[in-house]
Amino acid sequence: MQQEVVLAMLAKEPSHGYELRARLRDALGPLGDAMNAGHIYVTLTRLEKAGLVAVEASADRSDRKVYALTPDGQQRVAEWIAEVSWPKPDLAEFHLKLLAAASAGLADPLTIVDTQRRELLRRLRDAQRAAMAEPERSNAALLLEGIVLRLQADLRWLEACEQNWTQRRSGS
């Protein structure tokens, strides 16, 4: 995960590492389970070295560190919020795989499409079940809906691949 995500979570108020973890768990739901628990602390240490966060004295005098944004950190968060970014699905690779398989006779493109569809349907099933298990309008449900919609789009494209390659094979 990007350092900026951890940084931005500190924008609301200075926090302990474990508070950030709890907020992430709420935001990600079951997807957060796969995350390494130590990851957030490693990231915080890196951000501290980079001068983007500073450790404050703890109010409750425990030895837990409270992290706060430095002015540089605030600047970085503002830039990150304004950035336009979007994860890129690698469709070109799959497309070129089908073309290579067909032209060199390495495999039937339709078999590759079928294999891909199985995997995506399994993921869709998992994402859907996870989404239905979430309380309505929870943060995690919204994220899971995003996954479901992306998988649907990918499956539709596979359908287009299937039709196209079926027609090519029958020579029409």
Give me the residues that bind other proteins (CB under 8 A), please: 1, 28, 30-32, 34-35, 87, 110, 114, 117-130, 132, 143, 146-148, 150-152, 155-156, 159, 162-163, 166
Complex with other proteins: residue 52 or 124, whichever CB lies closer: 124
Residue 158 beta carbon to other proteins: minimum distance, rounded to whole angstroms: 9
Closer residue to other proteins in complex, CB, 19/126: 126
Distance of closest approach, residue 170 Cβ to other proteins, in angstroms: 9
Name the residue nearer to other proteins (CB basis): 6 or 66: 6
Q: Round to whole Å and give the CA distance between 93 and 154.
A: 13
Q: Which is nearer to other proteins, 55 or 121 (CB)?
A: 121
In whole angstroms, how close is the CB of 111 to other proteins at the nearest point?
8
Least Å from the CB of residue 21 to other proteins? 14
Contact in structure between 82 and 34 (CB atoms under 8 Å): no
The nearest distance, CB 55 to other proteins, in angstroms, is: 26
Helix ranges, the chain (H): 3-9, 17-28, 39-49, 71-82, 91-103, 109-133, 139-169
How far apart CA 162 and CA 168 sit, in angstroms, is 10
Nearer to other proteins, 87 or 105 (CB): 87
In sequence order, which residues have a C-beta less than 8 Å from that of residue 47 and are 6 or more positions away?
3, 6, 7, 53, 67, 73
Other residues' Cβ atoms within 10 Å of the Cβ of residue 116: 18
